[in-house]
């Protein structure tokens, strides 16, 4: 059967799903790559999507202002063990930018109390990172360990809220922080409200304070500074400084060709 028939059929299928075109094209590329590796076809479809352009919508990181983050932190009740745990987890995300997986995986040997440092290997990148153990963060962890953490021989700092007590999971951290942000009273409309939004918020605050990119990159544990540059799009104050004045257009321009621009 002619190759063009297959091409037209596949392109028609992709075009018929305009709202999900990015995912469909990506899935088909993976499928064709597999077929080629398994010698199911000879790879003549490699250029199939050259004429099927897909533009991803620009994604803006969800972040909150320093004032909103303060509201979130202060909204947490620390009268219970779970509240003390959740408060400490939120501070690790909002003050130090830790990911949910790293908060869940934090162990006692990652905390150097004498030097006021947190040292751990990031689960996402495998990079070992060293962060200052800020006073508020350290005090929150101590409060949880002394007055909220169930008795356990586990080395995990954070445990589940119910017996049998096990180490906190990434899902546990995400659910707790998500609920806290949503119930804090801040406006979350159109924004994500999990641990990563607190990480983004820390980056935004550092940018607003004039912190240079390499320092932000080191704080967040990025392997390369280019990753951190994605946060530049949310630094509105600095972007406004780059704006160029638009010179006024003389009225004679619009009156060209008998005022065609006004028709």
**Whether residue 37 is found in the same domain as residue 79:** no
**For residue 176, pLDDT beyond 70:** yes
Segment of 11-15, 190-194, 220-224, 230-234 carrying the highest mean pLDDT: 190-194
Query: Looking at per-residue confidence, does 124 or 33 come out higher?
Result: 124
**Whether residue 30 is found in the same domain as residue 150:** no
Section 153-160 average pLDDT = 96
Section 224-233 average pLDDT = 56
Average pLDDT, rounded, for the chain: 80
Reading phi first (left if > 0) and then psi (alpha if -120 to 50, else beta), residue 35 is in alpha
Query: Looking at per-residue confidence, does 56 or 114 come out higher?
Result: 114
With 0-12 / 13-18 / 19 or more C-beta atoms within 10 angstroms meaning exposed / middle / buried, residue 106 is buried
**Whether residue 16 is found in the same domain as residue 80:** no
Q: Which domain holds residue 221?
A: 66-238
Output the pLDDT for position 239.
47
Does 60 reside within a domain? no
**Whether residue 76 is found in the same domain as residue 204:** yes
Query: Looking at per-residue confidence, does 220 or 201 come out higher?
Result: 201
**Whether residue 129 is found in the same domain as residue 155:** yes
The number of domains in the chain is 2
- In CATH, what number is assigned to the domain containing residue 121? 1.10.443.10
CB 173 within 8 A of CB 42: no
Active site (catalytic) residues: 99, 124, 196, 199, 222, 231
Does 136 reside within a domain? yes
> 69 is written with which tokens?
């983050």
Query: pTM score > 0.75 for this model?
Result: no
**Whether residue 220 is found in the same domain as residue 97:** yes
Q: Which candidate, 84, 92, 83, 186, places its Cα nearest to that of 137?
A: 92
**Whether residue 136 is found in the same domain as residue 32:** no
Does 57 reside within a domain? no
Section 241-247 average pLDDT = 65
Does 145 reside within a domain? yes
**Whether residue 75 is found in the same domain as residue 200:** yes
Does 22 reside within a domain? yes
Alpha-carbon torsion 30, 170, 68, 182, what sign?
positive
What's the pLDDT band for 206 if we cut at 50, 70, 90? Answer: confident
**Whether residue 126 is found in the same domain as residue 228:** yes
Read off the pLDDT of residues 63-87 as tens digits, 9 standing for 90 and up.
Answer: 888 899 999 999 999 999 999 999 9
**Whether residue 112 is found in the same domain as residue 35:** no
């Amino acid at each position: 059967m002619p190759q063009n028939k297959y091409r037209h059929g596949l392109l028609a299928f992709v075009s018929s799903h305009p709202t999900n075109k990015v995912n469909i094209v990506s899935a088909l590329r993976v499928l064709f790559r597999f077929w080629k590796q398994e010698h199911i076809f000879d790879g003549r479809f490699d250029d199939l999507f050259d004429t099927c352009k897909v533009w991803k919508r620009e994604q803006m990181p969800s972040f909150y202002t320093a004032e909103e983050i303060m509201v979130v932190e202060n909204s947490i009740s620390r009268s219970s063990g779970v509240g003390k745990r959740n408060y400490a987890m939120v501070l690790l995300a909002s003050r130090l930018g830790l990911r949910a997986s790293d908060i869940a995986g934090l162990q006692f040997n990652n905390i150097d109390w004498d030097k006021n440092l947190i040292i751990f290997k990031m689960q996402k990148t495998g990079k070992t990172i060293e962060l200052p153990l800020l006073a508020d963060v350290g005090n929150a962890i101590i409060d949880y360990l002394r007055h909220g953490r169930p008795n356990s021989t586990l080395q995990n700092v954070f445990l589940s809220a119910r017996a049998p007590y096990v180490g906190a999971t990434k899902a546990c951290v995400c659910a707790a922080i998500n609920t806290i942000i949503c119930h804090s009273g801040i406006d979350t409309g159109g924004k994500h409200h999990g641990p990563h939004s607190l990480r983004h918020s820390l980056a935004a605050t550092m940018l607003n304070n004039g912190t240079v990119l390499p320092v932000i990159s080191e704080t967040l544990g990025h392997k390369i500074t280019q990753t951190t540059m994605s946060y530049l799009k949310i630094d509105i104050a600095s972007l406004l400084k780059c704006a160029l004045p638009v010179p006024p257009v003389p009225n004679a321009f619009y009156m060209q060709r008998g005022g065609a621009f006004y028709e």
